[in-house]
Structures are given as structure tokens and as C-alpha cells.
Chain A
Amino acid sequence: MEKNKKRRMAIIASKGTLDWAYPPFILASTAAAMEMEVGIFFTFYGLTLLKKKIEAKVAPHTNPAMPMKMPFGPKGFQDFDWPMPNLLMGNAPGFETMATSLMKKTFKNKGVATIEELRSICLDTGVNLIGCQMTMDVFGFSKSDFIKGVDIGGAATFLEFAMDADIQLFI
């Protein structure tokens, strides 16, 4: 490779839960800070991460290994891993919302950036955010549902960008 050519990373973001929303934005913002050229193709549930308001939640009942931590109280209380029976998680109304708000609070306590912050850094540092046209049609999204600066494309758009990428990830 010529010396002056920028390294490139191509990511497909296909999931829309809070835990799966982090990796694409963390890696993309960091790669941009490492002077790489970065593109993320948002498809299927990943497309919701381009919406003006991100409503990503955690899904405890499909992730039985998820540690359940309390983000307040004494250290021993916070470090305790609460056993949550799947029956309760799957059926209690509002359980996901509660678990999401506890998880977000824990992230904040640990100095982790929010998805919105990382997304905004991605935009500021020139990461290409590409929405999948087909998924938009299927879910009934229009470009006006998304933040400014998003491009729209399909499989060929992603493949042309990924063809010359040093790193390709499907998330």
C-alpha cells in the first residue's frame, strides 16, 4: 500500500439494542482518532441508531449472562450480581425499561460515554454513516427520521467502500 493512503475500516451495524449499539460507535470514533477512514453501514435493527432520538434498550431476557448491578448504594451492594429469574424478566411489564435505566446509570458512573456522544464525535470526525435503503423501505423510515449527515445506500454502496478496507466488521 502507498504510504500516504489512509487505512480504512468498514463496519456493518445490524443490531439496535444498547449493548450492540456501543461497539460500532466506539470502534468508529477510535479509528477516526487513529486517522483512519471509517464507514458504518446501518442495516436492519442497526438502522434505529441513526434516528434523531436513540431509544436503544438492553434485552435482559434474551441475554441470560447479563450482570444485573445496582448503580447506587454502598460498594458491596453495587458489586452484587442480582439473580434475575428469566420468568420474571420476560414477563414483568417495564422490566427492560428499568434494566436499561440501571445499565445507563452504571455506564455513567463508570465514565462511559453515551451512544449519542459517541455518534456525535463520529460525525464531527468524518465517519461516514450510511443507512440501508431497503431496510428503510421495510420499516417505513424516511431520511428525515435520521440525524443530519447520513448517507443512504445499498449493498453495492457498502461493498465498494469495504473492498479497499483494511478492517471489515459485521456487528
Chain B
Amino acid sequence: MLNAHQREVDCQGLSCPLPILKTRKAMDELSSGEILRILSTDPGSVNDLTSWSNTTGHILLSSGEEDGIFVYLIQKK
């Protein structure tokens, strides 16, 4: 699953709202059905990326933590 993404955006070290803004920008460059992988160290991104997916309609496929880094897979609607 972790290699199933088409693009990755690295938001490590960035604070709110940059992980959301960078995710949106990267998502704009994907086609429908493609998957974006997001890396973040911001604990607030867990709720924020969930809310962002809920409101935009993009599909949050998975959300997890690996060694203090939050990793998300979001599929473009």
C-alpha cells in the first residue's frame, strides 16, 4: 500500500496551516483516482487532514504514525 502512491509531499517540520496548503497544492497536480502520500511531524495534522478530506471529498485511505512521523494516503476524488 505504501508504494501505491503517485506522488509524495513532505511536510516534516512545518506547522499549521502549511501541511494543508502543501497537500492541496500537490493534489491539484494529480488526476482523479491517483494517490498522494503525505509526511508530517505536526500532531495537529491528524485532525486537520481528516477535516480537509471530509470537506473536499478526497478520500483518506490511511493515516498512521511511524517513528514520530505521521503518514497519510489520500486519493483524489
> Which residue numbers of A lie inside 8 Å of B, CB to CB?
7, 26, 29-30, 33-35, 110-113, 118, 121, 125
B21 near A29 with CB under 8 A, answer yes
B interface bracket (residues with beta carbon within 8 Å of A): 10 to 19
Q: Main SS of chain A's interface residues? A: loop
Closest 7 CB pairs of A and B: A33-B24, A111-B14, A30-B17, A111-B15, A111-B13, A112-B15, A34-B55
Whether a CB of chain A sits under 8 angstroms from the CB of B47 is: no
Which residue of chain A lies nearest to B24 when distances are taken between CB atoms in the complex?
Answer: A33
| Distance between B57 CB and nearest chain A CB, rounded to angstroms | 9
Instruction: Report B7-18 CB contacts with A as 1/0, cut-off 8 Å.
Output: 000000111111
Nearest CB to that of A25 among chain B residues? Answer: B17
A33–B15 touching, CB < 8 Å: no
Least Cβ–Cβ distance between B14 and chain A, in angstroms: 4
Q: For B14, what are the chain A residues with a Cβ–Cβ distance below 8 Å?
A: 111, 113
Residues of A within 8 A of B51 (CB): 34
Choice from B15, B17, B52 contacting A29 with Cβ under 8 Å: B17
Q: How far is the CB of B62 from chain A (nearest CB, A)?
A: 21
What is the CA–CA distance of A34 and B55 in the complex, to the nearest angstrom?
6
Task: Indicate if B3 sits at the interface (CB-CB under 8 A).
Answer: no
Tell me the bound Cα distance from A118 to B16 in angstroms: 11
